[in-house]
Amino acid sequence: MAAHGASAEPDLALLRKPGSYVLLLDAEKRPIAGNYWLSEGLKVSTRSRNPGSYPEPLVYSDQDFPPGRVANMYLFLNGKETVTPDIRAVPVGETATVTRRFEPLGQLAGKAEARSLTYTLTTVAVISEAMAGAKLLSRIYEIAPVDPANKEMDWGRRVYIETLDLDISREQAARVVDIETGKAGSTGDFEGIYASRVLAGDDYATCMAEKRAGKEYQDAVRREHETNDAWMAKEYLATGVPWWEQDDAAVRMEALLNVTGLCLPGAAK
């Protein structure tokens, strides 16, 4: 497999292309959030936690604002989201009362209840700005619960970078100073790239650099790309069934590139 890596300057032509990723970087060149596309209509996303911590689990979705499909094996998450009214159509300076409904799909359908959440959304501004030579269109908005005791969402002011399809908090947006685009061989490979950057200087980063250079790792990337990633890219949006709910899920688990277990802390030799 050809070597994968980042471009020196962000190449926005890569966005939404299968096998491409985009990262938002802070002043230390560590990722804040990122996407990796399996197809034009399906991606996995992750965000960083506290400095030095492993990033959040990869979540499959069609888009960020708002997502129509979301799935994650470890979170027992697989469903369809419907948001009304169209939150992208709320004019600047206006507030809309929004209903967000989640309906379980696949094996969870009929076992887990559908649920709805009502909140308010105010469009604060729509701005166009340049960063790292790229022109970005962003929507600044604020969400608040109808019930002040509700903690289901990350309430407050947020920024949706439409150009990159990344939705982040105001605090995260304030730390973004650069953008990186590149190519990864599979979802697991993307997770390894992202985690290595977050844990730069840690044994994990050293271990991952060594692993990614080896044939065994590249073979594992290819297996995941040709099996689980291929299923998600071609079938998930149409069927609502993720690879881990397939009849051959036990076999597919063997093709899962588990970079977390591959380079546990202290694993570098």
The pTM score is 0.93
Each residue of 164-201: pLDDT tens digit? 999 999 999 999 999 999 999 999 999 999 999 998 87
Banded model confidence at residue 265, pLDDT cuts 50, 70, 90: low
Q: Which two tokens stand for residue 48?
A: 């960083």
Banded model confidence at residue 46, pLDDT cuts 50, 70, 90: very high
**CA distances (Å), origin 69, targets 13, 18, 65, 250, 263:** 24, 18, 11, 24, 30
The yes-or-no verdict on residue 96 having pLDDT over 80 is yes
* For residues 14-31, average pLDDT: 96
What's the confidence (pLDDT) of residue 268? 45
The yes-or-no verdict on residue 202 having pLDDT over 80 is no
- How far is 230 from 38, CA to CA, in rounded Å? 8
Q: What is the DSSP letter of 109?
A: B
The yes-or-no verdict on residue 267 having pLDDT over 70 is no
Most confident of 103-112, 157-166, 197-206: 157-166
Q: What is the DSSP letter of 6?
A: B
Q: Regarding predicted confidence, which is higher, 44 or 110?
A: 44
- As beta bridge partners, residue 120 has 97, 144
> Domain spans of the chain?
12-198
Each residue of 233-253: pLDDT tens digit? 999 999 999 999 999 999 999
What's the confidence (pLDDT) of residue 225? 98
| Mean residue pLDDT across the chain | 93
* For residues 71-80, average pLDDT: 96
Banded model confidence at residue 1, pLDDT cuts 50, 70, 90: very low
What's the confidence (pLDDT) of residue 3? 39
Least confident span in 61-65, 77-81, 195-199: 195-199
Write out the DSSP string of 84-98.
Answer: ES-GGGPPBT-EEEE
The yes-or-no verdict on residue 264 having pLDDT over 80 is no
Kindly tell me the sign of the dihedral angle through the C-alpha atoms of 75, 31, 191, 226.
positive
Specify whether the CB–CB gap between 182 and 21 falls below 8 A. Answer: yes
- How far is 110 from 121, CA to CA, in rounded Å? 30
* For residues 102-121, average pLDDT: 95
What's the confidence (pLDDT) of residue 253? 95
Beta strands in the chain (DSSP E): 20-25, 31-39, 42-47, 59-61, 69-72, 77-84, 95-104, 115-131, 134-145, 156-161, 166-169, 178-183
Which of 135, 154, 131, 150 has its CA nearest to residue 64?
Answer: 154
What's the confidence (pLDDT) of residue 263? 83
HSE, CB side, 13 Å, CA atoms: give it for residue 120: 10
Banded model confidence at residue 8, pLDDT cuts 50, 70, 90: low
